Structure 1
Amino acid sequence: MNIEALSLNIGIDVVVVFVLLIIVIIVFMKTIRIVPQGQQLIIERLGKYKVTLGAGLNILTPFVDRVAYRLSTKDQILNVPSQDVITKDNALVKVNAICFIKIIDTQKAAYGVENYEQATISLVMTSLRATVGKMDLDESLSSRDVIKAELVKAMADQMTDWGLILRSIEIQDIAPSASMQVAMEQQAAAERHRKAAETQAAGNKQAAVLEAEGIRQSMILKAEGIKQSTILKAEAEQEAAVKQAAAAISLAEGTKKSNELLAEGMSAIDGKSALNYQLSKQYIEALALLFKSESNKVLIMPPELSQSMGNLINSSFILGATNELDKHENENKK
């Protein structure tokens, strides 16, 4: 009996020790809280906000204090689902976005709104519809920075009341409806054709202008060449005429001088006879040239010309004879 009672007492003591150990562990776990970096704990005491615990080791009052909320102080990414938005010109577009938020006041984030993530997404969607709804289709497709600035401005005050700050918001996609895309593609194709036609017309115009300018320059150069050639030709002709005139004057002066000398040397014969002598001399020289030509086999002369030539030759013969007589007389006198 004593052994059985002792065994029973030992078993009860072990159970009591085990229960006490469990109670100690539970109390320890309720008392000690280790908060990791980047998180904060909202502590309530008997259902009322008590304190916000930061990173590190923290001690609580067991069974009185409890962790109500565990919130992250890191930047959080929220995906805004795609939604249909009607623009100012009644075009339907699908818009989705992504926003980056950060908790700056965990107490407001815990007690200021039921679910700050869902509230932020709903606020972004509402502000996005309002902002895009004030724009035309073309403006909404090309003004993402404007939309982003408008969203940040519209959401800033409301998110501050929730203990949040909007780091950034980006429009991921703005896509018009399928029918609108077809119409836009047709419009873009027509615009490209129009620009191509304008470019081609401008090119043709430029080519025509350049061609006309080239023709004008060519005609100017050609006219200047003709003008210069005409001037040079006229100058050459003028110079030749001057030289011919000078030669004719020199020849006339030489002939005149020769006749005067001849007339002076022939005291018995007048100047007319001297002139006939010169003409007969030129005729004789010309006939000599004709007779020397190899292509002339027969030379036919009209009777009048023969008679004239005879008279001239006779005159020349008389002049020559007279010259010989004068010469002999002069020698005899010496």
Structure 2
Amino acid sequence: MDGITVAAVFFGLVFLTVSMAVKLVPQGTKFVVQRLGKFHKTLGPGLNFIMPYIDKVAHKVTTKDIVMDIPSQEVITKDNAVMVVNAVSYINITSPEKAVYGVEDYRLAIMNLVQTSLRSIIGEMKLDEALSSRDMIKARLKEAISDDISDWGITLKTVEIQDITPSATMQNAMEEQAAAERQRRATVTRADGDKSAAILEAEGRLEASKRDAEAQVVLAQATQVAINKVTEAIQDKELPAMYLLGEKYIGAIQDLSTSENAKTILLPADLPAAVRGMLGGK
């Protein structure tokens, strides 16, 4: 092997060694270094040096805030209503060592933790309460998962509930229930109206009957007074009775003559005699 070849190999090894020893870490990133398979240290942004051949960069971890979309899932409320809920969480890795070695896949772990916590929190609420308590669910969710993910070197910045709605099946059931309730109220309203109308009509008939009865009483009293005066004047007790009976008789004949079925009306030739005969007179 000539000198040129030896020099080329030498400089190649030097270049490889330097490239392995010098690490330039970009802003917003940290490198996790292992030495002989074991965690050794974390490299921050800028120029860093490690031991070539025995140290290696095992993981590159971002220190920027990470937005994690939590997929939609169906949850069951306390009153057995089915809801669809999804969320979004904002996290920051504060300890790359724990994030790498403390959990197999921190993204998957956080997603499962959020979904499980959502099912537990909403499962303690009724449908109406869950729909109107988005802020309370958010606060309880953040409290539930913050301690767990801090063990993985991760800080939960915030978590937001994006959508919380009844499932399609539940929405259809709610619409049918609302329609049935509207129909029930309409039926009750119509029934109340019919009842009120019937009561008013009955009260009207009762009042009319009372008025008619009062009129009959007044008329009878007036007639009695008239009969008494006539009797006193002519000193004949039979004549007033004949007068009243004749009046009734003539009224009945008039009613009969106005009937649709009336054809011919025959009156007795001697009406006073006929009336007297009704009274048993001679």
- CA displacement, residues 286-323 of structure 1 (integer Å, 9 cap, x when unaligned): xxxxxxxxxxxxxxxxxxxxxxxxxxxxxxxxxxxxxx
RCO higher in structure (CA 8 A, sep ≥6): 2
Q: 1:97 is matched with which residue?
A: 87
Q: Give the count of matched residue pairs.
A: 187
Q: Which has the larger radius of gyration?
A: 1
AA at the equivalent of 1:182: N
Q: 1:232 is matched with which residue?
A: none
Deviation at 1:132, TM superposition (A): 1.0
Structure 1 190/45 Cα, relative in aligned 2: closer, same or farther at 3 Å?
A: same
Aligned residue for 1:97, secondary structure, equals: strand
Q: 1:156 is matched with which residue?
A: 146
Q: 1:134 is matched with which residue?
A: 124
Aligned residue for 2:140, secondary structure, equals: helix
Q: 1:118 is matched with which residue?
A: 108
Aligned residue for 1:74, secondary structure, equals: coil
Q: 2:42 is matched with which residue?
A: 52
- CA displacement, residues 9-53 of structure 1 (integer Å, 9 cap, x when unaligned): 6xx444333333322221111010011111111111112221111
Separation in 2, partners of 1:95, 1:13: 72
Deviation at 1:165, TM superposition (A): 0.9
Correspondence for 2:96 among 98, 106, 111: 106
Aligned residue for 2:7, secondary structure, equals: helix
Correspondence for 2:65 among 49, 60, 75: 75
Structure 2 segments unaligned to the other structure (5+ residues): 190-282
Structure 1 segments unaligned to the other structure (5+ residues): 1-8, 199-334
Separation in 1, partners of 2:131, 2:118: 13
Structure 1 190/167 Cα, relative in aligned 2: closer, same or farther at 3 Å?
A: farther
Q: 1:201 is matched with which residue?
A: none
Of 103-112 and 72-81, more deviation after overlay is shown by 103-112
Q: 2:52 is matched with which residue?
A: 62
Q: TM-score, length-normalised on structure 1? A: 0.52
Separation in 2, partners of 1:181, 1:166: 33
Deviation at 1:170, TM superposition (A): 1.1
Separation in 1, partners of 2:42, 2:121: 37
RMSD of aligned residue pairs (Cα, Å): 2.3
Separation in 2, partners of 1:122, 1:172: 17
Equivalent pairs: percent with the same residue? 50
Contact 2:91 2:154 in 1 (8 A): yes
AA at the equivalent of 2:161: I
Stretches of 4+ aligned residues off by more than 6 angstroms: 190-195
AA at the equivalent of 2:151: D
AA at the equivalent of 1:169: V
Q: 1:31 is matched with which residue?
A: 21
Q: 1:180 is matched with which residue?
A: 170
